[in-house]
Structure 1
């Protein structure tokens, strides 16, 4: 299902970096050391924004990509 808060996302299994682009701010963040299992669950979640808020945000270190 399309998300109203997440424009797109990508995952690199070699570096375990989850890249997320947000709709409202237009900002792009990279979340570090995200296990492939967490990405798989995020990818298959019906509500991406809810899954992100409950399981990714505030659980992994991140950086803003400029």
Structure 2
């Protein structure tokens, strides 16, 4: 599970079998789970220069969460 040097997201975990993306936010902790997330979205987050911008554009309000 990668740890990020980001002011927004500190850590991410992805389960390819269930397609659940778990995120730990720097300000509130976690995990916060996002469901039915394709692998390429997780990979994009890992590569993104700005985790916050990527999250806002490609994950937030795009996938069911709890």
1:8 matched residue in structure 2: 11
Alignment of 1:37 with 2:44, yes or no, is: no
Unaligned runs of 5+ in 2: none
In the alignment of these two chains, the number of paired residues is: 63
Matched, 1:48 2:12: no
Q: Structure 1 residue runs of 4+, over 4 Å off?
A: none
Which TM-score applies when normalising by structure 1? 0.87
Establish whether residue 21 from structure 1 lines up as the match of residue 28 from structure 2.
Answer: no
TM-score by length of 2: 0.87
Cα deviation for residue 27 of structure 1 reads 3.1
Gapped regions of structure 1 (runs ≥ 5): none
